[in-house]
Amino acid sequence: MARWARPALSAFRPWGPAGWRSLYTEVTDVLGEGHQGPSPGRTDMVATSLWGVKKAPCAVELAVLNSGITGGRRPISFSASASSIFGSGGNSKKEKLLLQDIAELIQARACQRVVVMVGAGISTPSGIPDFRSPRSGLYSNLQQYDLPYPEAIFELTFFSHNPKPFFTLAKELYLRSYRPNVIHYFLRLLHDKGLLLRLYTQNIDGLERVSGIPASKLVEAHGSFASATCTVCRRPFPGKDIWADVTVDRIPRCPVCTGVVKPDIVFFGEALPQRFLMHVVDFPMADLLLILGTSLEVEPFASLSEAVQSSVPRLLINRDLVGPFAWRPRSRDVVQLGDVVHGVERLVELLGWTEELQDLIQQETEKLNRRDR
């Protein structure tokens, strides 16, 4: 999927200053006027810095931005390492942060603009296979679709020639009615508590939406099944309109021009959704970056992990040490390796949210049970 990187970069270039002002308007509509963020003038500067990117294939070089976030927080008492973030510990030496320190910062409302990045690892506990794991990954189990190579199922050229394998896979995923797990509901709880600035997901399963996180808080970087588009006349359709055909093994077609209607999933070689450009505003504003269940291999999504300011803590909860956490760690990085569910549950425990999370899961599970009857 690294082949997405160069098309994504070229997709940014048509966005002149007027486009960036439009993005700024959309962002302020979502965040509200009370949030600090780049002014329309600053978006012109951001656009210039993006077009002048030198570190290919990275699609972001956003460290030049300052968040403009000011104080207004109530007095708090941190552990020695956590207090070093804000220079209140009296010790100039930067101590290594721990998971407990991140929990203390959240509890004290010192981190109120949390940006989250997630990958397939948060959906595998729901039974959805990831792409690359040997034997259990999606790419290892596509022989039944008669593909020249596994990645072809997400390539436009192959889809244009033979869309049936993709829709066969889509039907299989759809009919299994996967449900959110404890990780999704932890992220929902972040939103309910007013702490989630934005959730950036690589997943196309839509479980973030199912968990109750509103679309305004989501950036589905690789698209989703929530909408679809005719590949010929580009007429848009609600995603639900295609499933009547897909579930009976028919290729969904446009009622106007008879072109194949493709879900708005980002295939190899396609530009990322325009909404992905919200990272230009979100990441400079973040005061905590949380990364869950991703290999940080797919560009330009992976490079966002370096787009927050160097003073901002980054927490990785993941099976393996990945990306810049392995080859360019920062002093305020926190890493919780192993099972992602266990890592999230440990953070929830340190936050004192265990009972709240259990209540939310029970409440939402009952809703889904009523829906599926």
User: Is 257 assigned to a binding site?
Assistant: yes
The Cα 73–Cα 188 span in angstroms is 24
Per DSSP, the three-state class of 335 is strand
Residue of 340, 221, 361 lying closest to 290 (CA atoms): 340
Active site residue: 184, 191, 222, 279, which one? 222
Helix (H, G, I), strand (E, B) or coil at 114: strand
Q: Does 111 belong to an annotated binding site?
A: no
Among candidates 48, 201, 37, 174, which has minimal Cα distance to 118? 201
Contact, 268 vs 156, CB < 8 A?
A: yes
Tell me the C-alpha distance between 352 and 108, whole Å: 12
Return contacts of 337-343, CB within 8 angstroms, 24+ apart: 340/121, 340/122, 340/125, 340/183, 340/292, 340/293, 341/125, 341/181, 341/182, 341/183, 343/317, 343/318
Token pair recorded at residue 372: 């599926």
Q: How many CB atoms lie within 10 A of CB 226?
A: 16
CB 100: neighbour CB atoms within 10 A? 16
The CB density around residue 72, as the number of other CB atoms within 10 Å, is 6
- Integer Cα distance of 70 and 73 in angstroms: 9
Establish whether 230 is an annotated binding residue: yes
Report the SS3 class of residue 337. Answer: strand
222 flagged as catalytic: yes
Residues making up the annotated binding site for Zn(2+) are: 230, 233, 254, 257
| Residues annotated as catalytic (active site), given as ranges | 222
